[in-house]
Structure 1
Amino acid sequence: MPMIIALVGATGTGKSGLSLEVAELWARRGVRVEVVNADAMQLYRGMDIGTAKLAVAERRGVPHHLIDVLDVVDEASVARYQADARAAIEDIMERGAVPVLVGGSGLYVAAVLTDFRFPGTDAERRAHWEAELARRGAAALHAELVVRDPAAAEAIGPHNGRRIVRALEVGELTGEPFSAGLAARSRPWRPYRQFGLELDRSALVSRLDERVRGMWRGGLLDEVRALLPLGLERGATASRAIGYSQAMAQLRGDLDEAEAIAQTQSLTRRYARRQVSWFRRDPTIEALDAAADDLAAQVDRRVADDLAASMSG
Structure 2
Amino acid sequence: MTTPIAVVGPTASGKSALGIALAKELDGEVVNVDSMQLYQGMDIGTAKLSLEEREGIPHHLLDIWPVTQTASVAEYQQRAVATVEAIQARGKTPILVGGSMLYVQSLIDAWEFPPTDKKVRATYEARLEDIGIDNLHAELAAIDPAAAAIIEDKDPRRTVRALEVIQLTGKPFQASQPPKDAPPRWGTKILGLRTTAEWLNPRIELRTQLMFEQGFIAEVQALLEQGLVKDSTAGRAIGYSQVLDLLAGEMSQEDAVERTIVGTRRYVRRQRSWFNRDKRITWLPADDSHLIELALHSVR
**Contact between 1:74 and 1:235, CA under 8 Å: does it hold in 2?**
no
1:170 CA drift (Å): 0.5
1:114-193 equivalences under 5 Å are 114-187=109-182, 188-193=184-189
- Provide TM-score, normalisation by structure 1: 0.93
Residue matched to 1:289: 285
- Aligned counterpart, 2:3: 3
Q: Which residues of 2 match residues 1-313 of structure 1 at below 5 A?
A: 1-26=1-26, 32-187=27-182, 188-233=184-229, 236-304=232-300
- For residues 21-61 of structure 1, give each alpha carbon's deviation from its aligned partner in whole angstroms, at most 9, with x where no partner exists: 112223xxxxx201000000000000000000001121011
Most deviating of 100-109 and 185-194: 185-194
Q: CA deviation at 1:249?
A: 1.2
How many angstroms does 1:104 deviate by?
0.5
Letter in 2 for 1:61: G
Q: 1:138 to 1:235 in 2, by over 3 A?
A: closer
**Contact 1:21/1:296 (CA < 8 Å) preserved in 2?**
yes
Range 251-260 or range 227-236, more displaced: 227-236
Amino acid at match of 2:237: A
What residue identity is the alignment partner of 1:271?
A: Y
Per-residue CA distance 1:258-284 (angstroms, 9 max, x = gap) = 111111111111111111111101111
RMSD of aligned residue pairs (Cα, Å):
1.2
Aligned-partner Cα distance in 2 for 1:193–1:36 = 14
Counterpart contact for 1:34–1:99, Cα < 8 Å: yes
Name the CA distance, whole Å, in 2 between partners of 1:219 and 1:157.
26
Gaps of 5+ in 1: 27-31, 305-313
CA displacement at 1:234 relative to structure 2: 6.0
CA distance in 1, matches of 2:178, 2:225: 42
Alignment partners' CA distance in 1, 2:229 and 2:150: 25
Distance 1:141 1:198 in 2: 33
Q: Which stretch of structure 1 is more off in the superposition, 210-219 or 139-148?
A: 139-148
Question: What is the identity, as a one-letter code, of the residue corresponding to 2:257?
Answer: I
Q: Is the 8 A contact 1:8 1:102 kept in 2?
A: yes
2:140–2:163 CA contact under 8 A, matched in 1 = yes
How far 1:235 sits from its partner (Å)? 6.1
Query: Does the 8 Å CA contact 1:40/1:108 hold for their aligned counterparts?
Result: yes
Aligned residues: 299
- The answer (yes or no) to whether the contact 1:250–1:256 under 8 Å persists in 2 is yes
Aligned residues of 2:22 and 2:95 also touching (Cα < 8 A): no
- Asked if the contact 1:115/1:184 (under 8 Å) is kept, the reply is no
On the 8 A contact 2:9/2:194 being kept in 1, the answer is yes
**How far 1:186 moved relative to its partner?**
2.9
Q: Give, in angstroms, the shift of residue 3 of structure 1.
A: 1.1
Question: Does structure 2 retain, via aligned residues, the 8 Å contact 1:9–1:279?
Answer: yes
Q: Which letter does structure 2 place at the counterpart of 1:7?
A: V
CA distance in 2, matches of 1:157, 1:183: 21
Equivalent residue, structure 2, for 1:311: none
